[in-house]
Amino acid sequence: MATLTLKNVTKRFGKKVVAVSDFSLEVPDREFLVLLGPSGCGKTTTLRMVAGLEEVTDGTILIDEVDVTDLPPRRRDVSMVFQNYAVWPHMTVYDNIAYALKLKRMDKKTIDKTVKEAAGMTKIAELVDRYPSQLSGGQQQRVAVARAIAVKPKLFLMDEPLSNLDAKLRVATRTELKAIHDKTEATTVFVTHDQSEAMSLADRIVIMKDGGIVQIGSPDDVYHRSASLFVADFIGTPPTNFMDVELKVENGDCRLINPHFDFKLKPDHAAKLRNYGKKKLVLGIRPEKILLVGEEDSILAAQCLVSEPQGSHQIIAIELADKIVKIVAPAHPMIESEETVHLSFNQEAIAFFDSESGLRI
């Protein structure tokens, strides 16, 4: 087991395209770290640099405090699960898993034991004599995972391993991946663009955008304490609702004003915003933090545009200042379309963002 350190890592393709810029990160032993971001943000490139499949333009990569920046992949003692599984079609499942062990010059008995162990852990023990073309996508994915855990690497790298599976299988497999990680306790770097996958797997999430880090934190951090508009919008389904507001100070009271509402802020928010100085702000609030209340407690009333029942809850969409705002509400009572709803905000959960930089205040 091992630690991974990236120091000011930069990757340029050609002269102009910067895929990753000045990326620094430390991954402690046994952590399950997820690199999360939209496509083209440099997360896969970062992973491939750690694996040694992509040359590093600038900076250093250390595994267990050893500089591996210029080492070929085979000398880094890492293993990887690829997006398209990359199981070798001309080898049986057994040979796929055993290949890396043979290259390590293990003796036959040990290889056999290790292969069976890995196949058992990934529940493909009865498939070892088959060829990959005789397996389903999900089974091939298991082979890829078995192959990766069999070598007992210092570092376990996964490049969107679940994205080629269908939705139901994806959710089931991610639970198993987590269980396998708990068993092997291998330091893991996992790349995905699926935020719910990231939330459910990660010890820590690194959110990337345009080749840089936007926020590093636990799933709880990035969800409840999003560092910027981008993160607040990217994490969560439905995403955070944003509203343009104006701060008004009146006889010592702080009020937030919007064409649709006008309410008094609680003291801790008020103090923070007053010190910040700017008047125009962006208010962000999670859909489940907007509350359906009686008319007397409401700060705004709106007509329900559509309501989507989800069984355990319902999602209500309203329109505020040409923007759709979504609200997650209890399943009962059912809200009908065009019904008027009275809303209030859970003030503790409100986040404020700078309208220019997009950063959290």
Partner 1 sequence: MTKTKKKPVSVAKAARTTIFYVFVVGVVVALLLPLYFIVSLSFLSTREAYEYPLPMVPALNTQFKLEYGKRGYLLSVYDRVEGGFETVLDTKELQKMSDYMKYQLATPMTLEDIEQQIAKLEEMQDVVYFTRRRNLLSNYQSFFGVAGSEAVPALIRSLQICALTIIISLSIGGMAGYAFARYAFKGKDLLKFSVLFVRMFPGVAIAIPMIKILVGLNFYDKPIGLSLVYSIGNIALTVWITASIFMGIPESLEEAAQVFGASKARSFLRITLPLALPGLAAAAMYSFLGAWNETVSAIILTQFNPTFAVIVYQTVLGAVGQVNLAAAGGMAMALPAVIFTFFIRRYIRQMWGGVTI
Judged by the rule CB under 8 A, the positions of this chain that interact with partner 1 are 51-53, 72-74, 78-80, 82-84, 86-90, 99-100, 103-104, 132-133, 147, 151, 157
Q: What is the token pair recorded at 324?
A: 């759709």
One-letter identity of residue 284: G
Q: What is the token pair recorded at 21?
A: 């810029």
Considering beta carbons, is residue 134 or 340 the nearer one to partner 1? Answer: 134
* CA dihedral for 222, 226, 231, 232, sign (positive or negative): positive
Rounded least distance, CB 92 to partner 1, Å: 14
Number of helices (H) and strands (E) in the chain: give both, helices first: 9, 20
Residue 120: name the closest of 141, 92, 150 by CA.
150
Considering beta carbons, is residue 89 or 309 the nearer one to partner 1? Answer: 89
Report, in this order, helix, strand and coil percent for the chain, each rounded to 5: 30, 35, 30
Considering beta carbons, is residue 62 or 86 the nearer one to partner 1? Answer: 86
Considering beta carbons, is residue 88 or 263 the nearer one to partner 1? Answer: 88
Q: How many CB atoms lie under 10 A from the CB of residue 213?
A: 21
Residue 218: name the closest of 229, 230, 204 by CA.
204
In terms of C-beta density within 10 A (0-12 exposed, 13-18 middle, 19 or more buried), how is residue 13 classed? Answer: exposed
In terms of C-beta density within 10 A (0-12 exposed, 13-18 middle, 19 or more buried), how is residue 191 classed? Answer: buried
Rounded least distance, CB 75 to partner 1, Å: 9
Rounded least distance, CB 79 to partner 1, Å: 6
Considering beta carbons, is residue 192 or 307 the nearer one to partner 1? Answer: 192
Question: Could you tell me if 290 and 241 are in contact, meaning their C-beta atoms sit under 8 angstroms apart?
Answer: yes
One-letter identity of residue 30: R
Rounded least distance, CB 124 to partner 1, Å: 17
Rounded least distance, CB 159 to partner 1, Å: 9
Rounded least distance, CB 99 to partner 1, Å: 6
Considering beta carbons, is residue 153 or 236 the nearer one to partner 1? Answer: 153
